[in-house]
Structure 1
Amino acid sequence: MRLAATVPTDDLLQHPSADVREFACASISKVLQQKQTIPAFVQRDVVRCLGPMLLDQRLAVRETAAGALRNLSACGGFDVCDDMVTKDVMTPLVALLKECQAGLEESNESVKETKETNKNYTEDIANEAVNLLWNVCECNSTAVSIFNREGCLALVLQFLKRFHTNVDLAIAVASCLQAVTEDNPDLLSSFDASTHQVLETVMVSSDKTMEHVLLRTLVAGVLWNIKSTLPSGSQASTVNAILKTLSECLAVDAGEVVIRMKEEETERLKTVEDLGTEENGSSLAVNEDEEMEETPKKPTKGKTDVSDLLPSSKQELKQVTALLLAQQTALEIIVNMCCNEEPSDDEWEELSSSDESDAFLENSYEEGGKLMSPLCLSAEVHTALMNHLVPKKILGKTAFPNSAAVDICARSPAWKPLIKKLNMVQYRALTCLHSILLVSDVDCLGGASVLQSLAQHLSQLIFSQPEFSKQTEFLEAVTSALRALLQMMASNNISQCTTPEQLMTLCEAGIQSDNVGVRVNVVSILGIAGSVLSKLEDTVETLKMIGKFLLEVATKDLSLVVAGEALDALFDVFADGKEAERAAEQIKLLSALKEFQPVFRLRMRKEGKGQYSTDQLCVLDNVKLNLRRFIAYLENLERK
């Protein structure tokens, strides 16, 4: 069936009947949930058609028009959001938000509520409008500039104040604020004592629902983004309150909540069935699978999945969804606290080469020899992290999801998507653990025995999954954490529990991954392990195995970033020690590197500028220099 025959024409959007206009907007809204339909609507200039309808005289038309544009922005991605801003969606949207604010301030409830439906149109319109605002601001810098210029902060804060009675609207506002306060210095001057008070009031509220847990977590993220606007005297207490909020969020056992909520849903549906049987003589029970087929207006969108439009009949599912998003968000905020400017895992860090790593470690010590935080974790954040047992709670989230909860979700089509969300919390926890390890020292983490136990835990996670090499997100997260942990243990001369055989198994599987970050992690892990073994006795055979593996990666991997990391690992493994010298001689490391040196240079000239960033090329240049030095070092050894 052709698209034109299945969706309303532009004429219907301009129809004199408000009912027809509402139907047209609602139909478009539903169709826009399907990504493949979006290009056709963009071609038909749907933004210019729907934009004016945000200010339609009929409130229901405003709501459905805002919902359609919201779906377009959520499903269309960056390019569509850019087009929406270019087509000036922000002008009617800001005007609509101002009218919503004015409507909420009016004392005449009839403006916003009908007795027949008990529906608060103004709040519902505001919810759609704020979600639309959030989506376009998250994707488009011009929209953020308009947000700043038009004073949208004051508008949405008025909606946030209604968090006790309309948590969905408050969540949309908090999500929007978390997006617009990130890297937006022009907005910071708009935050004063009154705005701080609104945010802090929401964050310390005591509402018990999982949606309010999500709301408090999002607001904690906003407060972290604007912490520079807080009075210096209250910064420490606010940071403490933020981490208390995140800690309380992470303390909730998501598996238990899944089990409990599913039981409550079953009981509720059974009660509905019993009541229907008693009153009508026949069952009115809702088939769960049919009931759950309705698609929420806002599709999953990474960290912004709120699912706030799930109907009330899905209240238990909505609670679990909110909790899992809250925990994922909490973990992401903690990562930002630890490493605001850390490169992503698929980028090769500038500190990965030997010379720069040595300089890095030298600069990481104070005069007394105490290891400083390489990423400058503030004293306030460090203290609050420890006081609220945040590292311990992060560690708890790194375990695989509760198997009973996963089984429950797997048996219900509507709950099955929660399995992916449960897994995502684990992946984010492993990434968060990686960040904590980068900014902590041995003592604050509990000492050598705790780190050894952690190494065993990570190994169990890896090797309990026979098909782990196919789970890219898990493997990238867990190898990042293991890499940071083994480096900390090596730097502090703590014996490592993971055997060379286990590490080789991990590396042989990981190097097959399509993900550059995974491959970089596993060769780095092998380099760390090899550098420790090179200082021990009777390790020649193991070092030979490691050396051959790293040589093969350096010479055959399709990514220069991975090849460079493998060379860097070789430098670390064979830079010192009698066992390393013997192993290098037996695998003919010198001749292999001399043969590979011109190939590496040629690859850098041919591939470098076209495929890699300036920072990566700087690192690769450093590796090229270190390769020449390392060859000279091996030649000197051979002459002795």
Structure 2
Amino acid sequence: MGKSQKKRAMRRHNPVRVPDSHLPKGLASASTTSSKAEAILPLMQKMENPDASERKWACVAVSNLIQNDPSTRRLLQGKNVVGALITRLTDSEEEVVVEAAGALRNLCIDGGYDICAEMYNKNILAPLKTFVPKISSTLSQYLENPKAATEGTQKLVYEFADNVITTLWCLSETSNKALNAINEINLVPFLMSFLASRERLPLAPVTSAAQCLYVLTDDNYPATSEVRTNADYLACLLSIARSNLISNGKTKEVDDPRIVTLRVLAAGILRNISPIPPPSIASSVDIDRDIILPLLQPIITSISLAEDSKIAQDLAMQHETLPQLDQLSIKNTPKHDHKPPSEVELERLEAKLRTIQLSLEILTGVCATLPDPEPVPENAGEDDDIDEDNGGDEDAAADGHDVQMGVEPVAKTNETNGALPIFVPPLLALIQPTSLSFPPLASPSIHPPTTSALSAIHISALECLNNIFLSLGTSQNPAIAGDKESGQKIWNDVWTALSLVGTEAGPGQERRQEMWEIAMGVLWGVGIIWRGSLVPNSDQIKLLAQACDSTADVILQVKCIGTLESLAQYPDLIEANESISNYLLSKLPLGNSPANIGTEPLIQVVSALVDIFSDENMPYDINFRRGGYLERLAGSVEGIKKAVKGIDRKKEGGRELRRRGEEVRDNLVAFIKYRQQLKL
């Protein structure tokens, strides 16, 4: 059977903390959905005011106005707030610069990729580059002489550093072009200086530095190479990842989520730069086994999303409304450190949820054991005009099985031989939506950041399960396959989650669709492992068929077909087999008419039908004989041959698909001959 050969790219930073895709496009619609539309123009005018206190007030007001308010954010974007704030980064007054940096940082986090791209295109890196050496120099002075400045002044510098680093972190995820430009700044020594001095610095800029470094070392050779070859950097990261509590000279609350986040980020950075070459002492450390898994397991098992969702809803109801713009004056400039208790707790809860999300993203990498296909020799299959009746046999013989996927990293998540990975139960718990996870379009979330974090957790947990089960599906472990009760429970748990997600479509419901798409891979993997033991459900069969028919994504189609194949092999429900078989047969070409499905899904359909009816002694084989399936398959051979011959080897993945198509084509021809000889 065909398998997805590319491991899914990990999302390192949530693209949109306060999503706005549910809003109609255009500034006019944003004006009607924002309660602060009339305040926008006066605010933008104050941004250019000769009075520095007015400019500072305007920068701070931007941060407050966009909070959980995508409509107002859109209006501000339409008035070029990004360009205005970037201009303020070169303001003559330092406090204006600091507040402008804070507003830009909040826009990055709340608005995601689009705003970051706009910032990059408007050359935000020019002023940001000048801040890095200045912050570094000031930081060194404070560390050498803590009394060099007042506590208030130091706090201002640390907040400014946090804002600059967070903006660089977000920008680095915007595009390869932005990443390459940031690589030229050579940020690694700057960021590592925060981690090295973590005991004497506030947690906020230290954690931001770790987050930025985590992003920069993700498949980015310049940063990866620099960290990997520096013994001091490696020792620092190992120390953080292995520590139980980060102390910075003052008593810190043990349950501060940023402490846990810092450890997780350090572990993630170490994984990004692995393998670490000798003679470093870190080269002898098995990062996954000795660092990642012992750290992440208690993190993902220690949370109840249902409880946290309830807490978030209660806090959001209590949340005090921030002052409206017309109630503010220059003397009453809003401050970020004067937040109501409910807001502080909501931010604390969101940080905790983001740490869970981050942990799952790293765990997804540990479980991502689907390697790329082995390279096909350059001279293999160059002749596209070979005899299709004979050609490809040599390839099929050389590749008479699916590309195998290694399972060693998954095996490391096991504590007992023959048992399911220990992460499976907590992951199944984390895919179950809460009342706040996927609010309906008609009732927007009471607290969008929490909703965004919850849905990201569900998706990341599904990605972990996807990699685990597709990997276990190739290991053919009899002990796991024999545990039919566990297989059925896992199957039911995934469907329970999907029933809670629902099928509402449209703008603002993209996360629902993503859940379904990833879940199809999980169900396929579960179906592979427990093939023939999962009890088919007519509603589930219909949903799988509908998902296949309603998407243009060929990979999703393949997953649906593969899952249906597994259900069709349950021996005791002949009606379910008939329903699935007829659906699969409807996808075949007939005579000179081509198939009504793409070539890759078609190959999966043919493979599925051959596998389902490979044993004529199965109870459901009566459907094959009674339904005339043999004649229907025989009538599709020429169309299948044409489809396989039409695969372009020069396209990405074309060679592998062509080889697989030729194999399946040959298997079909052999299968038809075999069934004809049986004369049943």
Q: TM-score range by the shorter chain?
A: 0.7 to 0.9
1:399 and 1:461 in contact (8 A); partners too? no
Q: What displacement does 1:71 show?
A: 4.4
User: Which amino acid in 2 is paired with 1:64?
Assistant: E
2:581 and 2:609 in contact (8 A); partners too? yes
What residue number does 1:254 align with? Answer: 304
User: Which amino acid in 2 is paired with 1:245?
Assistant: L
User: Which amino acid in 1 is paired with 2:262?
Assistant: L
What residue number does 2:202 align with? Answer: 166
Q: What displacement does 1:597 show?
A: 5.8
Q: What displacement does 1:217 show?
A: 1.9
Q: Measure the CA separation in 2 of the matches of 1:615 and 1:383.
A: 30
Q: What displacement does 1:569 show?
A: 1.6
- Which digits, 9 at most, give the CA deviation of each residue in 1:396-448, with x for residues without a partner? 231367899969x9999755764564454344323212312344487989644
Q: Is the deviation greater in 381-390 or in 520-529?
A: 381-390
What residue number does 2:605 align with? Answer: 566
Matches within 5 A, 1:526-545: 526-530=564-568, 532=569, 543-545=577-579
- Which of 156, 175, 199 is 2:237 aligned to? 199
Describe the SS at the equivalent of 1:244. helix
Higher helix share: 1
Q: Measure the CA separation in 2 of the matches of 1:333 and 1:249.
A: 12
- Which of 634, 654, 657 is 1:619 aligned to? 657
Q: How many residues align?
A: 577
Q: What displacement does 1:138 show?
A: 0.7
Q: What displacement does 1:82 show?
A: 4.3
Mark the CA change 1:174 to 1:630 in structure 2 (over 3 Å): closer, same or farther: same
Q: What displacement does 1:45 show?
A: 6.9
User: Which amino acid in 2 is paired with 1:433?
Assistant: L
CA RMSD of aligned residues (A): 5.0
- Which of 139, 145, 165 is 2:180 aligned to? 145
What residue number does 1:546 align with? Answer: 580
- Which of 231, 250, 266 is 1:219 aligned to? 266
1:332 and 1:428 in contact (8 A); partners too? yes
What residue number does 2:360 align with? Answer: 331
Q: Is the deviation greater in 510-519 or in 1-10?
A: 1-10
- Which digits, 9 at most, give the CA deviation of each residue in 1:5-60, with x for residues without a partner? 83368875555432133234335556677667888877877666544533444332
What residue number does 1:480 align with? Answer: 521
Structure 1, unaligned runs of 5 or more = 267-285, 296-306, 344-352, 365-373
1:94 and 1:150 in contact (8 A); partners too? yes
Mark the CA change 1:46 to 1:428 in structure 2 (over 3 Å): closer, same or farther: closer
User: Which amino acid in 2 is paired with 1:18?
Assistant: A
User: Which amino acid in 1 is paired with 2:158?
Assistant: E
Q: Measure the CA separation in 2 of the matches of 1:472 and 1:10.
A: 38
Structure 2, unaligned runs of 5 or more = 1-27, 32-36, 246-253, 326-335, 373-391, 504-511, 590-594
What residue number does 1:209 align with? Answer: 256
User: Which amino acid in 1 is paired with 2:580?
Assistant: I
> Would you say 1:525 and 2:563 are equivalent positions?
yes
User: Which amino acid in 2 is paired with 1:247?
Assistant: Q
1:81 and 1:140 in contact (8 A); partners too? no
Q: What displacement does 1:132 show?
A: 0.8
Q: Measure the CA separation in 2 of the matches of 1:259 and 1:23.
A: 34
Q: What displacement does 1:183 show?
A: 0.9
Q: What displacement does 1:315 show?
A: 3.0
> Would you say 1:319 and 2:319 are equivalent positions?
no
Mark the CA change 1:23 to 1:95 in structure 2 (over 3 Å): closer, same or farther: same
Mark the CA change 1:589 to 1:467 in structure 2 (over 3 Å): closer, same or farther: farther
Describe the SS at the equivalent of 2:423. helix
Q: What displacement does 1:618 show?
A: 5.1
Q: Measure the CA separation in 2 of the matches of 1:35 and 1:406.
A: 18
What residue number does 1:431 align with? Answer: 463
Q: What displacement does 1:137 show?
A: 0.6
User: Which amino acid in 2 is paired with 1:496?
Assistant: S
Matches within 5 A, 1:380-529: 382-383=411-412, 386=415, 391-399=421-429, 414=446, 418=450, 421-440=453-472, 447-450=480-483, 452-462=485-495, 470=503, 471-490=512-531, 496-499=533-536, 504=541, 507-508=544-545, 510-511=547-548, 514=551, 516=553, 518-529=556-567
1:462 and 1:468 in contact (8 A); partners too? no
Q: What displacement does 1:182 show?
A: 0.9
Q: Measure the CA separation in 1 of the matches of 2:129 and 2:319.
A: 39
User: Which amino acid in 2 is paired with 1:89?
Assistant: I
Q: Measure the CA separation in 2 of the matches of 1:80 and 1:120.
A: 27
Q: Larger relative CO (CA 8 A, sep 6+): 1 or 2?
A: 2
User: Which amino acid in 2 is paired with 1:526?
Assistant: L
2:320 and 2:340 in contact (8 A); partners too? no
What residue number does 1:283 align with? Answer: none
What residue number does 1:245 align with? Answer: 295
- Which digits, 9 at most, give the CA deviation of each residue in 1:595-637, with x for residues without a partner? 556666888999x88xx96326852674377347625642564
Q: What displacement does 1:180 show?
A: 1.0
